[in-house]
């Protein structure tokens, strides 16, 4: 991969047309409608399970329909040709500086990293929700883009451009149909964070102790999304004609529009949070924010304290570099800073993140579709726990999708390339790789790949590398992958990246062995899928025992490493180290 190849102007425009890799088609990530909820009173916890998620399309999300606030309804957003022309002109002008500087960026890596990538990040941040979302996704994909670009785009996950206090006040009062002070004791005008479609403020509701988070959509976000997706649709349609249609970009763009429209409707996000809270109601160390008040433009939810896992991961990696780099003297003088980062917490983040992913996949058939470290908080009050934020995009899996993907992951974990390849061919209802010859070649190539890089449990399989190589085969053979499967794959890549950053010794495939093997056995019992869901806690207990054993071994190995480093440091200081005494005191 060249440092600049992925970010050429033409490549960027194509990527923006469908956000996820071009091989992923049909983004059937279905956001939930706020009107699908069982009736609830404000501030009252959920006592009954939410209704089933409904299929809500892009146009449905553009209808402004308020639930817990006072009701009103606006017209569906319509895209006018003049608006498309003006927007296309504005986009072209915005990219002019990047195009002018592109030749220098291609030739000079330092210029590319210091100037061009930050300029690209700034430009995308100014262009609105669809472009910011692409930047957020790209920042988590160092496997596809240069690391310097990922670093430049990373701030857009929480520090996207902010709108004015006046807009926030206007939106909240419109939802309340009353002055802001009638409902809020205190409201901080300075936002805590800003994302692609909304920003978050800290506030205090009257009659309720503690802070709440108030999420407010950016100005004209729905209208801007509608225009941008109309333009992307035209680009995708043209690209489909050039490629013969096997990428199915037009459908992918339309479905991605539905995904982003779901994010623009905060009532839909509240509905998804209700579902996730219900699904994880028995987990004491994993949760989601609890919605309190909702409308399409304003969402009031519980305020969750903690540190973003993305920030924690950076601090952890810095402490590890401090511990390992700079020689043994650094160990003695920098040991206090390293000790502040608890390895038990790092391991908890990885294993519990994997537990949540597997539960969503194996039991709930409802997947958070934006599960990157910038959307996960690590909390320490009352014991370490995880809180997953930003549920605007969810993937509702059908039983067939769940069955196909679990089959693929299980066969990947076993190193069975032939069966994994056949599972991949079922990743689209309208598969373009057809015929005995074409499918046979694809399955054979997957077998050869697995023979080299994926030989099963306990062999050190690097799931990220295997998945990336598998996706390269998918592209080469023209295999279509629908977007719910894409969501599942991208979440695994995020999880693997998180593990590599915090606990490189933890293999996510080996970590899932106990639970996947248990699930595979149980689903063959009478009752099949139902039995697997009911008995899932037993499988989770087996996985927890396996994780505890791994962690004990890891701690012993790290302690031996620390002892060796300390002994070496003492020897360099000239104080000896073989006599016990002071060294033993330090190690204790």
Quick: pLDDT tens for 203-212: 999 988 899 9
Is 241 among the domain residues?
yes
67 CB neighbour count, 10 Å cutoff: 20
Mean pLDDT of 16-28: 35
Q: What is the pLDDT of residue 254?
A: 66
Q: What is the pLDDT of residue 82?
A: 86
> Which residues on adjacent β-strands are paired with residue 396?
366
Q: Tokens 């700034």 sit at which residue?
A: 122
- What percent of the chain stands above pLDDT 70? 75
Q: What tokens were used for 133?
A: 């979302």
Helix axes 221-243, 249-264, angle to 10 degrees: 170
**pTM across the whole model:** 0.74
Is 463 among the domain residues?
no
Non-local CB neighbours of 483 within 8 Å, separated by 6+ positions: 20, 24, 25, 26, 27, 28, 29, 252, 255, 256, 259, 395
Q: Shortest CA distance to 119 belongs to which of 79, 86, 142, 152?
A: 152
Q: What is the pLDDT of residue 547?
A: 92
Mean pLDDT of 38-67: 33
- Return d(Cα 48, Cα 82) in angstroms, integer: 48
Q: Tokens 């908080």 sit at which residue?
A: 377
Q: What tokens were used for 559?
A: 């302690």
Non-local CB neighbours of 122 within 8 Å, separated by 6+ positions: none
Is 293 among the domain residues?
no
Is 113 among the domain residues?
yes
- Return d(Cα 270, Cα 292) in angstroms, integer: 9
Mean pLDDT of 552-567: 82
- Return d(Cα 48, Cα 402) in angstroms, integer: 25
Average pLDDT, the chain: 78
Question: Rounded to 5 degrees, what angle do the CA atoms 513, 515, 516 make?
Answer: 65
Quick: pLDDT tens for 93-113: 998 999 899 999 889 989 999
Domain of residue 79, residue span: 5-26+71-155+222-265
- Return d(Cα 55, Cα 250) in angstroms, integer: 20
- Return d(Cα 557, Cα 572) in angstroms, integer: 23
Is 557 among the domain residues?
no
Is the pLDDT higher at 79 or at 268?
268
Listed range (39-43, 349-353, 401-405) with the worst mean pLDDT: 39-43
Per the CB < 8 A criterion, the answer to whether 381 and 355 are in contact is no
Non-local CB neighbours of 306 within 8 Å, separated by 6+ positions: 377, 378, 379, 380, 387
pLDDT of 528 over the 70 cut: yes
For residue 424, how many C-alpha atoms fall within 13 Å in the half-sphere facing its CB? 31
pLDDT of 47 over the 60 cut: no
531 to 518, 536, 543: CA distances (angstroms) = 11, 8, 18
Q: What tokens were used for 304?
A: 């969750």
556 CB neighbour count, 10 Å cutoff: 10
Is the pLDDT higher at 438 or at 227?
438
Listed range (17-31, 361-375, 507-521) with the worst mean pLDDT: 17-31
pLDDT of 441 over the 90 cut: yes
Q: What is the pLDDT of residue 458?
A: 84
Q: What is the pLDDT of residue 71?
A: 36
Domain count, the chain: 1
Q: What tokens were used for 449?
A: 């790949």
Q: What is the pLDDT of residue 188?
A: 96
Quick: pLDDT tens for 273-293: 999 999 999 999 999 999 999
pLDDT of 58 over the 90 cut: no
pLDDT of 17 over the 50 cut: no
pLDDT of 580 over the 90 cut: no
Torsion sign, CA atoms 527, 533, 536, 538: negative
Q: Shortest CA distance to 485 belongs to which of 389, 400, 415, 388?
A: 400
Is 248 among the domain residues?
yes
Is 496 among the domain residues?
no
In three-state form (DSSP H/G/I as H, E/B as E, the rest C), the secondary structure along 356-372 is HHHHHHHHHCEEECCCC
Is 530 among the domain residues?
no
Give the range with max mean pLDDT: 91-95, 251-255, 279-283, 574-578.
279-283
Is the pLDDT higher at 539 or at 321?
539
Q: What is the pLDDT of residue 242?
A: 66
Q: Shortest CA distance to 171 belongs to which of 225, 222, 227?
A: 222
Q: What is the pLDDT of residue 467?
A: 92
Of the pLDDT bands very low, low, confident and very high (cuts 50, 70, 90), residue 127 is confident
Q: What tokens were used for 230?
A: 């109309």
pLDDT of 574 over the 70 cut: no
Of the pLDDT bands very low, low, confident and very high (cuts 50, 70, 90), residue 70 is very low
Cα of first residue to Cα of last residue in the chain, in angstroms, is 47
Question: Helix, strand, or coil here: 160?
Answer: coil
Q: What tokens were used for 194?
A: 């800003």
């Amino acid at each position: 991969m060249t440092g600049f190849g992925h970010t050429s102007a033409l490549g960027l425009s194509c990527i923006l047309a469908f956000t996820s890799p071009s091989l992923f088609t049909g983004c059937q990530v279905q956001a939930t409608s706020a009107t699908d909820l069982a009736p609830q009173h404000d501030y009252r916890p959920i006592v009954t399970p939410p209704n089933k998620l409904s299929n809500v399309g892009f146009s449905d999300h553009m209808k402004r329909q308020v639930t817990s606030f006072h009701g009103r309804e606006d017209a569906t957003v319509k895209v006018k040709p003049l608006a498309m022309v003006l927007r296309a002109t504005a986009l072209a002008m915005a990219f002019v500086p990047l195009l002018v500087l592109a030749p220098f960026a291609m030739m000079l890596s330092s210029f590319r990293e210091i100037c061009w990538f930050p300029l690209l990040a700034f430009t995308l941040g100014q262009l609105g929700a669809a472009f910011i979302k692409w930047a957020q996704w790209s920042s988590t994909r160092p496997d596809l883009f240069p690391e310097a670009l990922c670093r430049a785009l990373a701030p857009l996950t929480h520090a996207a451009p902010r709108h004015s206090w006046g807009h926030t006040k206007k939106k909240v009062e419109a939802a309340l149909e009353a002055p802001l002070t009638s409902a809020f004791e205190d409201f901080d005008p300075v936002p805590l964070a800003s994302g692609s479609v909304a920003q978050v403020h800290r506030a205090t509701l009257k009659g309720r102790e503690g802070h709440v988070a108030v999420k407010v959509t950016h100005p004209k976000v729905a209208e801007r999304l509608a225009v941008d997706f109309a333009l992307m649709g035209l680009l995708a349609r043209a690209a489909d004609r050039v490629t013969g249609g096997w990428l199915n970009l037009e459908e992918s763009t339309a479905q991605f529009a539905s995904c982003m429209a779901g994010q623009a409707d905060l009532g839909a996000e509240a509905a998804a949070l209700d579902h996730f809270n219900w699904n994880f109601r028995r987990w004491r160390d994993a949760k989601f924010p609890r919605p309190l008040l909702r409308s399409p433009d304003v969402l009031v939810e519980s305020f969750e304290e903690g540190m973003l896992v993305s920030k924690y991961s950076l601090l952890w990696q810095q402490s590890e570099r401090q511990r390992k780099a700079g020689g043994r003297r650094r160990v003695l003088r920098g040991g206090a800073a390293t000790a502040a980062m608890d390895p038990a917490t790092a391991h908890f983040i990885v294993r519990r993140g994997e537990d949540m992913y597997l539960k969503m996949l194996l039991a709930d058939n409802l997947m958070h579709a934006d599960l990157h470290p910038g959307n996960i908080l690590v909390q320490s009050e009352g014991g370490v726990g995880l809180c997953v934020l930003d549920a605007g995009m969810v993937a509702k899996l059908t039983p067939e999708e769940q069955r196909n993907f679990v089959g693929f992951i299980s066969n990947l974990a076993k190193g069975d390339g032939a069966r994994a390849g056949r599972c991949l061919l079922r990743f689209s209802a309208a598969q373009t790789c057809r015929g005995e010859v074409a499918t046979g070649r694809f399955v054979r190539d997957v077998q050869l790949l697995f023979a080299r890089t994926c030989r099963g449990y306990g062999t050190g399989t690097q799931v990220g590398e295997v998945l990336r190589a598998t996706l390269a085969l998918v592209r080469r053979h023209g295999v279509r992958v629908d977007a719910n499967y894409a969501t599942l794959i991208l979440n695994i890549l995020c999880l693997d990246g998180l593990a590599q950053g915090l606990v490189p010794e933890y293999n996510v495939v080996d970590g899932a062995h106990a639970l996947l093997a248990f699930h595979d056995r149980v689903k063959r019992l009478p009752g099949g899928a139902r039995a697997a869901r009911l008995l899932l806690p037993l499988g989770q207990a087996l996985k927890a025992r396996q994780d505890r054993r791994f962690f004990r071994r890891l701690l012993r190995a790290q302690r031996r490493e620390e002892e060796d480093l300390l002994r070496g440091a003492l020897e360099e200081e000239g104080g000896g180290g073989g006599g016990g005494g002071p060294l033993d005191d330090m190690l204790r």
